[in-house]
Amino acid sequence: MKVLLADDDEFMRLLAEEVLRQAGHEVVAVGDGEQAWAAYERDRPPLVLLDWQMPGLDGVEVCRRIREADPERQTFVLVVTARDASDALATVLDAGADDYLSKPVAPEGLQARLAIAERRIAQLAAQREAEAKLAQARWLAGIGETTLALQHEINNPLAALLGNANLLEAGLCEGEEERTECVAAIVEQAKRIGAVVKRLQALRDPQSVEYLRGGRMLDLSKPTD
């Protein structure tokens, strides 16, 4: 996994980078907040590790920008801080950080926080995948229900329309009166089909109803206003 690491303390940066690499991550390491924000915009990594106190943009401001750019919180943000006061930690969390780590940072403590981050990222990825599959299943089910509804509502008037059109085409409507009746039937059935299309266009809260053999179809029975 790609990780963005930002710390202006070279020793801390090298320490954290080593822990991250040993955990199998690809690390992009920078020394200040401006570089961190630029790297985030470029790479959009799933995990960002920020020191709070950095020149230029501090870690809290970078975190705020990340959250504005990532409202779905697809990026896990871990802020490292030397401030232990409750109001300082509240500031970190209010900025949108998912977790924090207090200085001095020990490799074991960072490894534990990384394990939490990795687990959270994996859980969110699985949740997004499940939601995407559910949305696709609902979309496909909606197509099926719409198809059944159109067949149910349109088949009969379409058959009557085509039947009368075939009679006219074959010259089997003898006399002016019969031809007029065939044309009137065609117009009537075309209007029925048009009314179905109009109801479909006007749907605002689609509902399905039970169909044959336990299937379901889109309810197009209600007339439009």
89 and 141 part of one domain: no
Q: Report CA-CA distances (Å) from 61 to 45, 100, 117.
A: 17, 15, 20
Q: How far apart are CA 197 and CA 194, in angstroms?
A: 5
- pLDDT tens for each residue of 4-42: 999 998 988 898 999 999 989 999 999 999 999 999 999
Confidence bin at 75 (pLDDT 50/70/90)? very high
Record the pTM: 0.61
CA-to-CA separations, 196 to 157, 161, 165, 224, in angstroms, rounded: 10, 15, 20, 9
- Does 94 fall in a domain? yes
CA dist 61 and 63 (Å) reads 5
Residues 23 and 63 in one domain: yes
Do residues 101 and 141 both lie within one domain? no
pLDDT bucket at 206, cuts 50 / 70 / 90: confident
Answer yes or no: is 180 within a domain.
Answer: yes
CA–CA dist 139, 133 (Å, integer): 10
Question: How does pLDDT run across 127-150, given as a tens digit for each residue?
Answer: 777 877 776 766 666 677 777 777
Give domain status of residue 96, yes or no. Answer: yes
- Examine the fold and report which residue of 105, 128, 163 is the final residue of a domain before the chain moves on: 105
Is residue 79, in this structure, part of any structural domain at all?
yes
Residue 225, pLDDT score: 46
Q: Is the domain of 10 the same as that of 75?
A: yes
Question: In this structure, what CATH number is given to the domain that contains residue 18?
Answer: 3.40.50.2300
Distance CA 181, CA 31 (A): 85
148: tokens are 């059944």
Q: Can you give the residue range of the structural domain that contains 32?
A: 2-105
- The structure tokens listed for 178 are 């019969």
Query: Does residue 30 belong to any structural domain of this protein?
Result: yes
Q: What percent of the chain has pLDDT over 70?
A: 90
Task: Say which residues have a Cβ less than 8 Å from residue 111's Cβ, sequence separation at least 6.
Answer: 19, 23
